[in-house]
Structure 1
Amino acid sequence: MKGLIVAIQFLTRLPTPHIAVRGEEFAASIRWFPAVGLIVGTCIAAGAAAGAQIDNWTGALTALLIWVGITGALHLDGLGDIADTSGAAHKDRARLLDVLADPHVGSFAVVAIAMQLLAKLILLHGLIDAGAILPIVMIPFAARTGPLVWSRWLPDLHTGLGSRFRGAVRSGDIVLWSLALALGGFLSPSLFCVPVALFLWGWWLNRTIGGISGDGHGAGIEITESMLLFAALIWEHIR
């Protein structure tokens, strides 16, 4: 349970008890990332349902504000950093790492974050309009299985936050959360697209950037969430 609290502290701005954490305990918190996603998804869906009592656009906006607020825009920051870094991908590795480490926000980051927020707003509205609240609960959970897979699959881009997670992910963790995803797929069939989304992000990141980092994990969560929102909306229109 300590690992869950640490994961909540890291991934969200939700209040938690203050606890002392060693380095290996922080790394092991990655095993609880999907569980935190379920908490995040529940809060977002509750906001969507509440806002929709006024109208569906208000529901979508309320859900998006909760999504950004509860995560502290942590993953959006990673998305912006990866967007800027991709602009330097044609340079040498040293330049790429310099851009990744630069705390300033470039034009690629601004465009990527703006488009991501717009995409989520529109897709949330579509799901609320279709009365599909359950996928909104499940998608943040599904997206946070990504770091477990990417940590085991992709090489470290540099020594940092992302590299600390590698040794903490066990095969059993991936099997457990994969089974949970499969069960979730029977409730929200769009979740069966998760392996495709995780593979596509990992493949692009490895090909373009050359490995995984904390920013890569954050950006991957954001991109996967949007892909799954889109998949859920398609499912609602074809079923």
Structure 2
Amino acid sequence: MMRGLFAAIGFLTRIPVPARVFAGASSPSAQLAWYPAVGLLIGGLLWCLGWLLSGAEPMLAGGLLLVAWVALTGALHLDGLADSADAWVGGLGDRERTLSIMKDPRSGPIGVTAIVLVLLLKFVALASVPQPSAMLWLAPLLGRALLTTAFMTTPYVRSGGLGSALVGESRIACGMALLLTAIVALFAGWHGLRAIVVAALVFACWRWSCMRRLSGMTGDTCGALTELTEAAVLVALAL
């Protein structure tokens, strides 16, 4: 069980974990079910930083929080966002062309623009609300919980991809993790409920788009899902 937690932390963050957690075969369900917990860990660390910056100017606090956020995750999901944006525009509606563009390690102007816009939205939202705020843990929590939801509900179309090892998860373990996620989010009251509704809408639009274009999802589209969810939750709570 703890091996799965450490594996999830090692994959989704830049927090050091023992290398042996990735050695040999392990139950993939143990890792995927821990994704919401990793989101909560990221959020907890950001909340602590927000508390330390509570006396700083809002713009400075927002900027430092965003830098810490990107550093904690190693820009893992931002890379997926850029690849997905390039592929969705450059793919011209064609499935195979879209998948081919997503495999290209280079980022085009659309991908760069997507990253800039999402980071800008996050920064403005963080700078608009006194810190520490519930948004600091709600956004990363729901962003990772939707990854678990995606693997439970959406086919994975790229064999051999980073997410292929997570296919065939224990639905019971993942379902319990998502139930606990909803309960934890509701501790934030109306803010938590609003965040859940916004995250659900983002997921519905994302899944519809992925199924229509690819008949499923890839690791890059999962990265895009996390980034779009976080940005939408931050903006909704800032409003």
TM-score of the aligned structures, taking structure 2 as reference length: 0.88
Residue 218, structure 1, aligned to residue 219, structure 2: no
Contact in 2 for aligned 1:38/1:137 (Cα 8 Å): yes
CA contact (8 A) 2:34 2:177 kept: no
Distance across 2 between alignment mates of 1:154 and 1:228: 22
Aligned residue for 1:38?
40
Report how many residues are paired. Answer: 232
3-state SS in 2 of match to 1:161: coil
Give the distance between the partners of 1:74 and 1:23, measured in 2 at CA.
23
Alpha-carbon shift at residue 169 of structure 1 (Å) = 4.3
Q: Matches of 2:51 and 2:149 in 1, distance apart?
A: 32
CA RMSD of aligned residues (A): 2.0
Match of 1:107 among 109, 118, 136: 109
Identity %: 31
Residue 197 (1) aligns with residue 202 (2): yes
1:230 aligns to what SS in structure 2? Answer: helix
Shift of 1:210: 3.5
Amino acid at match of 1:233: A
Structure-2 residue corresponding to 1:17: 18
In structure 1, list runs of 5 or more residues that go unmatched.
235-239
**Alignment check: 8 A CA contact 1:181 1:191 kept:** no
In structure 2, distance between residues paired with 1:38 and 1:186: 13
**How far is the alpha carbon of 1:29 from its aligned partner?**
1.1
1:100-179 matches, within 5 Å, as 100-128=102-130, 131=131, 133-159=133-159, 160-179=161-180
Is the contact between residue 40 and residue 70 of structure 1 (CA under 8 Å) also seen in structure 2? yes
Q: Hey, what's the Cα distance between the residues in 2 that align with 1:178 and 1:74?
A: 26
Q: Which runs of 4+ in 1 moved over 6 A?
A: none
Residues 168 and 22 of structure 1, relative CA distance in 2, 3 Å threshold: farther
Amino acid at match of 1:143: G
Change (3 A) 1:166 1:43: same
Which letter maps to 1:196?
A: L
Letter matched to residue 218 of structure 1 = G
Aligned-pair CA distance for 1:50: 2.3
State the alpha-carbon separation in 2 of the partners of residues 152 and 144 from structure 1.
13
Q: TM-score if structure 1 supplies the norm length?
A: 0.88
